[in-house]
Amino acid sequence: MKSAFNDARQLIRASIQQCFGSELVVMLPDGQQRKIQGYIKHQSSEGHAIKRLLTASCLPPLSTMMIKGKRYSLAFSGHEQGKGNKDSQLQREYVLNLSQAGIKHDFSEF
Question: pTM for this one?
Answer: 0.67
pLDDT confidence of residue 65: 95
Q: How far is CA 93 from CA 1, 5, 7, 23, 87, in A?
A: 29, 23, 23, 16, 11
Q: What is the pLDDT of residues 45-78, one digit of tens each?
A: 777 888 989 888 889 999 999 998 999 999 988 7
Residue 86 backbone dihedrals phi, psi, to 5 degrees: -95, 150
Q: How far apart are CA 6 and CA 8, in angstroms?
A: 5
